[in-house]
Amino acid sequence: MAAEAMPLQLVTGESKDLDEVMDVMASAFDPHFGEAWTRSQCAGILPLSGVQLVLARNEHEVCGFSLLRTVADEAELLLLAVSQDSQRQGIGGALLNHFIDHGRQANLARLHLEVRDGNPAVAMYQAFGFEEEGRRRKYYTGRDGSQHDALTMALKI
Ligand SMILES: CC(C)(COP(=O)(O)OP(=O)(O)OC[C@H]1O[C@@H](n2cnc3c(N)ncnc32)[C@H](O)[C@@H]1OP(=O)(O)O)[C@@H](O)C(=O)NCCC(=O)NCCS
């Protein structure tokens, strides 16, 4: 009899999980766009008050993560990534739902995020109710020096 696959688990991560987080980061983000964070950026923000790392674990490994920061009655989605070979299986949506649930449970007024204009994730954020609020010109600089605008998006809850 075939063993049943372990369901996806969303668990809180810590600094000791950074190796796996950086593996997902490298797999998910295209360096052309300059959206990925460095290990030292991640390590620097993790101990700060209101910051939460959420890991998506499948049977074998960490296959996705989100990084959130809550300040007063707002929270920001700093990063959301799923390893390339685990994409389009609902994992990004599960992490985004977790972020929205956090906002509801903590009674926050507003959730927000920044995303590169043209990133397919924009459609996902819109599908979850986020609305475009503004644009930051040339916000991302890719490894090759190319520059890309960011959209700011928000969800009122
Ligand atoms: C964005 C990202 C996290 C989505 O993760 P995912 O696990 O593939 O997302 P899901 O499977 O939950 O997709 C949910 C829905 O979002 C939309 N979507 C997700 N990726 C998409 C893509 N590449 N193109 C078009 N629509 C997409 C679809 O509507 C999808 O539903 P469907 O598969 O039923 O059509 C993932 O593509 C990723 O890691 N990208 C690189 C990192 C990044 O750009 N992160 C966002 C900015 S921080």
Q: What is the pLDDT of residues 1-19, one digit of tens each?
A: 455 666 899 999 999 999 9
Is 24 within the bounds of a domain?
A: yes
Is 3 within the bounds of a domain?
A: no
Smallest CA-to-CA distance from 8 within 119, 97, 70 is with: 97
Q: What is the pLDDT of residues 59-114, one digit of tens each?
A: 999 999 999 999 999 999 999 999 999 999 999 999 999 999 999 999 999 999 99
Nearest CA to ligand 1 atom 1: 121
Ligand 1, pocket residues at CB < 6 Å: 28-29, 35, 79-82, 87-93, 115, 119-121, 123-124, 127
Is 1 within the bounds of a domain?
A: no
Enumerate the active-site residues: 114, 125
For the segment 133-147, the average pLDDT, to the nearest whole number, is: 93
Q: Is the per-residue pLDDT at 39 higher than 60?
A: yes
CA of 36 to the centre of ligand 1 (A): 16
Q: Is the per-residue pLDDT at 154 higher than 70?
A: yes
Is 75 within the bounds of a domain?
A: yes
Render the burial of 40-74: b for 16+ CB within 10 Å, e for the rest: eebeeebeeeebbbbbbbbeeebbbbbbbebeeee
Domain residue limits at 90:
9-156
Is 4 within the bounds of a domain?
A: no
How many other CB atoms are there within 10 angstroms of residue 141's CB atom? Answer: 12
Is 54 within the bounds of a domain?
A: yes
Closest-lying ligand 1 atom to the alpha carbon of residue 89: 11
Look at residue 7 in the predicted model and tell me its pLDDT: 87
Is 81 within the bounds of a domain?
A: yes
CATH of the domain at 85: 3.40.630.30
Q: Which distant-in-sequence residues (6+ apart) come within 8 Å of 23 by Cβ?
A: 62, 83
- Domains in the chain, number: 1
Nearest CA to ligand 1 atom 33: 88
Please, which pLDDT band fits residue 121 given cuts at 50, 70 and 90? very high
Q: What is the pLDDT of residues 101-120, one digit of tens each?
A: 999 999 999 999 999 999 99
Distance from C-alpha of 82 to C-alpha of 92, rounded to nearest angstrom: 6
Is 26 within the bounds of a domain?
A: yes
Look at residue 143 in the predicted model and tell me its pLDDT: 86
DSSP 45-69: HTTSTTEEEEEEE-SSSEEEEEEEE
